[in-house]
Chains A and B, each alone.
Chain A
Amino acid sequence: MTAPSVKAPRRPLPGLGLLRQTGDMFLLALSVLKLMFKRPFQVREFIEQFWFIASVTILPACLVAIPFGAVIALQVGSLTEQFGAQSFTGGASVLAVLQQASPLIVALLVSGVAGSAICADLGSRKIREELDAMEVMGVSPVQRLIVPRVLATVLVAVLLNGLVSVVGTVGGYFFNVVLQEGTPGAYVSSFNSLAQLPDIYVSELKAIIFGFVAGIVAAHRGLNPSGGPKGVGDAVNQSVVISFTLLFGINLIMTAIYLQIVPPKGG
């Protein structure tokens, strides 16, 4: 019988912890995907979470979308004026809103607002042993709590993306037409000359992926707080930072791929 307590202390490899956490997160994502289809689906929890996330994100989303759409329209308007291409102002700014601004605003809101709330909720349940109690009762917290939360985040992200696109575009229109004296008809008709349907598809696809990743990261941090109430605070902090970083990275990759595989309409 060898006592493990006297084993020579082994220096952990640097970066091993990071790898382990990443692996854990992927495992969680896999089990969420698997348990999504397991019955019974937690309808009530899903609706409650959906309602909660929607109610805390809609107003800030609109409030951020209006000035965001406006600055894009103003900037694009001023640029196109210098080239003498004012007729493309509308098309260029709607592309920028739809493909970049809107998904990024959604990313900020689902990870900053929804993700932090989910992480704090799960973290406090974890330290109060509620999740352990659930497991002892033979109920999987992943299926019971996390699947509905992740799905709610995804659905809110998709719908929010639509809302932000519309509000941003309308905001851009208003500022361009009213403040920069653009032509209303030219602004709207130029949408068709540059933008195309795949732009909406990729925008919504981004929203789905952002919602999923933000939900998984929040759940993963919430499930593993490092002991005590302070640990929950730290976990929320980490959750927001990690999902911000991931979402911006994913956005870069998806944009690059999209630009490679979908031919631009204007060319």
Chain B
Amino acid sequence: MGTEVIIEGLTKSFGKQNIWEDVTLTLPAGEVSVMLGPSGTGKTVFLKSLVGLLRPERGRVLVDGVDMVNSPVKDVFEARKKFGLMFQDGALFGSMTLFDNIAFPLREHTKKKESEIRKIVMERMEMVGLGNADRKLPGEISGGMRKRAGLARALVLDPQIILCDEPDSGLDPVRTSYLSQLLIDLNAQIDATMLIVTHNLEIANTVPDNMGMLFRRRLVTFGPRELLLTSTEPVVAQFLSGSRAGPIGMAEEKDAATIAMETRNGLTAIRPDQIRAVAPQLEPTPGLPPRMAVLRRKKRVMSMLNQMPDAARRAVEENLLPSGGQWQ
């Protein structure tokens, strides 16, 4: 089972520029979470802070009792073995073949025989659909393939926590759907805690159990998917509908004059009745084990049901209760 990641009061600045501050949330064990946010809101910085690649000024990231921000370097290195991070463009080693790239963590951290390594690596490469590209160098393949190879490398040590940095960027919509399905299937197979950073709406709508959103240097909200997908919070609603109407502008935020002008031109923010129905979440491919996270999440979400707004509660009831028809 995956490991819970507790993030408390995390604040990160570069020089005088504050990226985000006081981010507090908990990634529930074994569940899939998505962090949304317009470009340039520090989503990648957030991911890197979780594994200790960047050092936030304040706050803690607790993984199995190790604080990835303040613990001694030795403990952090040890704790990192629990993580698998899929970088935005794969971050493969340019001088190694795909096979050697994916075998790298195994060769570094295990004493497995070469034949065992071969078996595991080929299995992972099949999983991400790179079955016969093992002899290729990263420079010889497409960006999408590099990404998938990066994912395979992140998976090879059976991590308890998988972080994906924009798995969709540079992929066509069909491949993005395949990747979404792959992520859900993975979760069903290894029950790892997953955090996906993205601004892809399809992934946001269909993949996660929980969603969060970063905007204007803070965490706007984090909670079960139903809560965000039905949210009337202007930023969240605007982002999830991909509309120009709302507080998000071309340069991160709009000023009052722009909003006034847009309103005159008939561009108005989304009203609560325009919120779309919550799309059903992806199910693992038939034949795979059911996701263990679903049951745990149901229990958790039910216990917070009475604090949710009406729309979210209705969506939860529709999706999680047997009478809704979605529950199997």
Q: Is B123 an interface residue (CB 8 A)?
A: no
- Residues 111-138 of A, flagged 1 when their CB comes within 8 A of B and 0 if not, give 0000000000000110011101101111
Report how many residues on chain A are interfacial, defined by Cβ distance under 8 Å.
20
Residues on B with C-beta less than 8 A from A135 are 53, 80
- Residues 1-15 of B, flagged 1 when their CB comes within 8 A of A and 0 if not, give 000000000010100
Q: Is A241 an interface residue (CB 8 A)?
A: no
Q: Is A261 an interface residue (CB 8 A)?
A: no
In the complex, are the beta carbons of B91 and A132 less than 8 A apart? Answer: yes
Q: A4-B13, A5-B16, A138-B109 are in contact. Are A132 and B57 (CB under 8 A)?
A: no
In the complex, are the beta carbons of B91 and A129 less than 8 A apart? Answer: yes
In the complex, are the beta carbons of B18 and A136 less than 8 A apart? Answer: no
Q: Is A189 an interface residue (CB 8 A)?
A: no
Q: Which residue of B lies closest to A144 (CB)?
A: B108
Interface range for B: 20 to 34
Q: A5-B18, A7-B16, A9-B16 are in contact. Are A136 and B53 (CB under 8 A)?
A: yes
- Residues 131-152 of A, flagged 1 when their CB comes within 8 A of B and 0 if not, give 0110111111000100000000
Pick the contact of A128: B21, B51, B94, B104 (CB < 8 A).
Answer: B94
Q: A3-B18, A128-B94, A130-B94 are in contact. Are A136 and B85 (CB under 8 A)?
A: yes
Q: A130-B91, A133-B91, A136-B80 are in contact. Are A3 and B85 (CB under 8 A)?
A: no
In the complex, are the beta carbons of B18 and A132 less than 8 A apart? Answer: no
B147 nearest CB across to chain A (Å): 13
Interface residues of B in 70-97 (CB under 8 A from A): 77-78, 80-81, 83, 85, 87-89, 91-94
Q: Is B314 an interface residue (CB 8 A)?
A: no
In the complex, are the beta carbons of B13 and A5 less than 8 A apart? Answer: yes
In the complex, are the beta carbons of A137 and B94 less than 8 A apart? Answer: no
A105 nearest CB across to chain B (Å): 30
In the complex, are the beta carbons of A139 and B108 less than 8 A apart? Answer: yes
Q: A1-B22, A4-B21, A128-B94 are in contact. Are A136 and B16 (CB under 8 A)?
A: no
Residues on B with C-beta less than 8 A from A1 are 21-22
Q: Is B48 an interface residue (CB 8 A)?
A: yes
Give Cα A164–Cα B48 distance, bound, in whole angstroms: 47
Q: Is B105 an interface residue (CB 8 A)?
A: yes
Residues on B with C-beta less than 8 A from A136 are 51, 53, 80, 83, 85
In the complex, are the beta carbons of B87 and A133 less than 8 A apart? Answer: yes
Give Cα A100–Cα B9 distance, bound, in whole angstroms: 58
Give Cα A130–Cα B150 distance, bound, in whole angstroms: 11
B-binding residues in A (CB < 8 A) = 1, 3-5, 7, 9, 124-125, 128-130, 132-133, 135-140, 144
Query: Could you list 30 A-B pairs, sorted by A, with CB under 8 Å?
Result: A1-B21, A1-B22, A3-B18, A3-B21, A4-B13, A4-B18, A4-B21, A4-B57, A5-B16, A7-B16, A124-B94, A125-B94, A128-B94, A129-B87, A129-B89, A130-B94, A132-B48, A132-B53, A133-B85, A133-B150, A135-B80, A136-B80, A137-B81, A137-B108, A137-B109, A137-B153, A138-B81, A139-B104, A139-B108, A144-B108
List the 6 shortest-distance A-B pairs measured between CB atoms, nearest first.
A133-B91, A5-B18, A129-B91, A138-B80, A136-B85, A138-B81
Q: List 6 additional A-B contacts (Cβ < 8 Å) besides A132-B53, A132-B87, A139-B105.
A: A4-B16, A7-B16, A125-B93, A129-B89, A132-B91, A136-B51
